[in-house]
Structure 1
Amino acid sequence: MPTEHYIGLMSGTSTDGVDGVLAEFEGAAIQIAAAASLPLPAELRRDLLALNATGLDELARAARAANGLADCYAQIVERLLAESGLAPAGVRAIGAHGQTVRHAPEAGYTLQINAPARLAERTGIAVVADFRSRDVAAGGQGAPLVPAFHAAWFGDRPGRAILNLGGIANVTLLGEPVRGFDTGPANMLMDAWAQRHLGQPYDRDGTWAASGHCHAGLLARLRGEPWFSLAPPKSTGRDLFSPDWLRAHLEATPGTKQLAPEDVQATLLMLSVVTIAEAIDRHAPDTHEVLACGGGALNTALMTALDQALPCRLASTAEHGMPVQSVEALAFAWLARAHIHGHPACLPAVTGARHATIAGCLYPA
């Protein structure tokens, strides 16, 4: 099979930036030829976050935000091409996930802000987008999307789990069949709290959380969210785990009115840790190794707490040749290739769909 090049682009639930990779595929072998990241402009980030709730003039605001996101995607593509020395004609397709602003598979829809035609026009490269809708139409969750890629990269290793620590945490359980599901918040609530109280996009290394103390009553109330008790397949996002959700629990928990902000941050970190550990113990008790990726894998406090909570070995995907911040972007390069070759990549054992589906829609160059 001839060598093919694909680009993968991902802006995740944290809504803080865009990661991109240019991947080289030769048969089953995959190599990263170039990687780049770009923070989202503050105004665009604000607009995307605002679209997670209803408001005036939503359709026009969504269209403008989609164009702005596509322009950021195009900048990443330009950087990847410059770093690799490839011309646009040398790239078969771009996999561009878009920014999720609504996710309600139980109501039959999921919505990712994107402008793939604009991206194809700006880059001169075909774009594969809208990866979730067909699976939702087949009765699935439309998420998580990456387990099939995890299995392709990390192999059929029963007992190994891949843990993505993005805005939302999701876990892939390798084996036959491959399974995967969201476990709840990873960084999303911590990032929002840090932005509110520190004026920073996130709590670097979890230093602020480490300076606080977990509030047992608040943690117990947060863990009481019924979603955590649902059996897979399941997925979630800002529709549920929003700042308003946190605010309501803070107001309803005795003894939190005078709680220091860093203590809330410490409690949110432990919420992520405990719900991840409980989900793995409940649904994959034979797991002997967890490989973490995503921005949360760079959070020292989070990883330390996870290492203490998990009954098995915790490592990062970097130890297996995969930089932690490149995993999801590479997954969308892989998903774009699967679409081009007509390979189903949405797995019923993961999403709960009636049958496997080919993910995405093609926008030719």
Structure 2
Amino acid sequence: MSGTSMDGVDLAVVDTDGLDILALGETRYRPYSATERATIREALGTWPGDDRAEAAARVVEAAHAEVCAGLEDVAAIGFHGQTLSHDPDNRRTHQAGDGARLAELTGRMVVWDFRSTDMAMGGQGAPLAPFYHWACARLIGAGGPLAFLNLGGVGNITWADPQAEAPEAPGALLAFDTGPANAPIDDVMRARGLGDFDADGALAKTGRVARDVVQAAMGARYFARMPPKSLDRNDFADLFDVLAPLPDADAVATLTAIAVASVARAMVHLPEAPAQLLVTGGGRRNGAMMSGLRAALKCPVHAVEAVGLDGDFLEAQAFAYLAARVLNGMPTSAPGSTGVAAPVGGGRRSVP
């Protein structure tokens, strides 16, 4: 998995029958170099055929091939690719990286292009990790509904009922993007020469939140829409102009508060209050963001490590799980996860 933070490639091995998680195996991480990251960032917002997108695809494919080198006893590689553009209203999305090329580079079957079929059938094409979140709820022995919150570049939430017979069963899941999370914070940090991200929310903790900016941001039409719904990484890029006059700490504190406010707004859409909110993704390491969530929400908020899961590799595990579902002819999305008309199996297979 190479996510919206564009820090590198996460690899995780999962033993699964496509329904339950039987075992969690090896994990690896391969960071992008500064040059590689710059190539990918240059391609953000592009579509297939653009030279910048092709350059990014070659970087993504090579990095994935490198991290997969030497894998043993693996039936297939689930390859998400790097999202460069996502436009669900017009039923199009662009993940850089050719699964057929990766199959040649690795010598293994690759399952890829997970989003296109869902979008062709009217779905948002995102988020796709919710089926795996449902399996995780079963793995940890949850007795009732709980919620997973992924705080990557964009935030997304999954409400999951592990008592349902399958993730595509009616009422098993509700999932959608909550709003901006780490991406705008990271972008502001880089633009102001402050580093790549706000480690532990240290800068946000020293700033004053511009409440008028938070209020204005939460007035965006997206937050009033009923889920399922999804966002592009740059959908809230206009915040940069609004934040430009603010001191560094205040700008980052305000973006952190917007991320928290968007999650709080998302909670009203859930079918019932979850027993707990389990946080994954880089945001769980942001002390300011986690403190804000605990103050704003009525349910307990924990990092996923509290229940024995690994938040650094949950997304990578999700695409291994989805690859197994593709190989077994099972759905990979459903009305409750992407808004697609009916449960549908996405993904293409490429063999070397």
TM-score (norm 1): 0.88
Amino acid at match of 1:231: M
Alignment pair present for 1:169 and 2:155: yes
**8 Å contact kept, 2:275–2:300:** yes
Query: Structure 1 residues 265 and 58 mapped into 2: Cα distance closer, same or farther (>3 Å)?
Result: farther
Q: State the partner residue of 1:271.
A: 258
Give CA deviations for 1:258-281 in whole Å, capped at 9, x if unaligned.
x21110100000000111012113
**8 Å contact kept, 2:146–2:160:** yes
Amino acid at match of 1:117: A
**8 Å contact kept, 1:69–1:115:** no
Structure 1 residue matching 2:312: 3-state secondary structure: coil
Give CA deviations for 1:14-62 in whole Å, capped at 9, x if unaligned.
112111112223683432221111221222222222222359x962221
Aligned-CA RMSD value: 1.9
Query: Structure 1 stretches of 5 or more lacking a match?
Result: 1-9, 252-256
Deviation for aligned residue 1:287: 2.2
Q: State the partner residue of 1:77.
A: 68
Structure 1 residue matching 2:69: 3-state secondary structure: helix
Give CA deviations for 1:224-273 in whole Å, capped at 9, x if unaligned.
2211111101000224123xx1124347xxxxx3x211101000000001
TM-score (norm 2): 0.91
**8 Å contact kept, 2:137–2:146:** no
How many equivalent pairs are there? 339
Q: % of aligned pairs identical? A: 35
Within a 5 Å distance, the mapping from 1:146-161 to structure 2 comes to 146-155=129-138, 157-161=143-147
Alignment pair present for 1:34 and 2:26: yes
Deviation for aligned residue 1:285: 4.9
Give CA deviations for 1:295-348 in whole Å, capped at 9, x if unaligned.
111112211111111111111211222111111000000001001111111112
Alignment pair present for 1:112 and 2:95: yes
Amino acid at match of 2:129: V
Name whichever of 268-277 and 195-204 sits farther off: 195-204
Q: State the partner residue of 1:345.
A: 332
Cα distance in 2, alignment partners of residues 219 and 124 from structure 1: 49
**8 Å contact kept, 1:51–1:58:** no
Query: Structure 1 residues 137 and 54 mapped into 2: Cα distance closer, same or farther (>3 Å)?
Result: closer
**8 Å contact kept, 1:13–1:166:** yes
Equivalent in 291, 304, 314 of residue 304 of structure 1: 291
Amino acid at match of 1:36: R
Query: Structure 2 stretches of 5 or more lacking a match?
Result: 162-170
Cα distance in 2, alignment partners of residues 340 and 54 from structure 1: 30
Query: Structure 1 residues 284 and 300 mapped into 2: Cα distance closer, same or farther (>3 Å)?
Result: farther
**8 Å contact kept, 1:222–1:249:** no
Structure 2 residue matching 1:214: 3-state secondary structure: coil
Q: State the partner residue of 1:195.
A: 190
